């Protein structure tokens, strides 16, 4: 389950930023997670609940799921994508992913 490793990195970032701001508590961590990032959102939530400690012991996780989209290199069609490999509906070429791989800490709410 690589989500636990991802959560450990997220919490490391959050704790480092909170400590730099002399915070006593992390209230919320906001993430952007693309549909094509290869991350199971529910597993990410579960791991976050299990791994929070210290400054983040009561932190909430807010995940903003971003849609996937791609562009056809053959005909230029742009379309939404739910899987990392998709064929163009117009010409049958393999679509190139142009969005939806994001996985980033967007903001922290701290006290």
Q: pLDDT per residue over 3-33, tens digit each?
A: 999 999 999 999 999 999 999 999 999 999 9
Q: Which of 88, 63, 54, 55 is nearest to 73 (CA)?
A: 88
Q: Which of 111, 94, 97, 88 is nearest to 37 (CA)?
A: 97
Contacts of 41 (CB under 8 A, 6+ apart): 33, 63, 65
**CATH architecture for the domain at 2-67+101-110:** 2-Layer Sandwich (3.30)
Domain segments of the chain as ranges: 2-67+101-110
Distances (CA, A) of 76 to 94, 95, 99: 11, 9, 15
Average of pLDDT values for 41-70?
Answer: 97
Contacts of 12 (CB under 8 A, 6+ apart): none
Q: Which of 107, 28, 23, 101 is nearest to 66 (CA)?
A: 101
pLDDT attached to residue 72: 97
Q: pLDDT per residue over 77-108, tens digit each?
A: 999 999 999 999 999 999 999 999 999 999 99
The order of strands in the sheet holding 26-34 is 60-66, 26-34, 103-110
Distance CA 40, CA 46 (A): 10
Predicted structure pTM score:
0.87
């Amino acid at each position: 389950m690589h989500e636990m490793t991802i959560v450990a990195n997220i919490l490391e970032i959050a704790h480092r930023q909170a400590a730099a701001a002399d915070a006593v508590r992390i209230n919320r961590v906001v993430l952007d997670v693309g549909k094509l990032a290869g991350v199971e959102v529910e597993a990410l939530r579960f791991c976050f609940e299990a791994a929070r400690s210290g400054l983040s012991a009561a932190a909430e996780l807010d995940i903003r799921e971003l849609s996937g989209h791609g562009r056809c290199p053959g005909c230029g069609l742009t379309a939404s994508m739910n899987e990392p490999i998709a064929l163009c509906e117009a010409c049958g070429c393999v679509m190139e992913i142009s969005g939806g791989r994001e996985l980033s800490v967007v903001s922290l709410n701290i006290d």
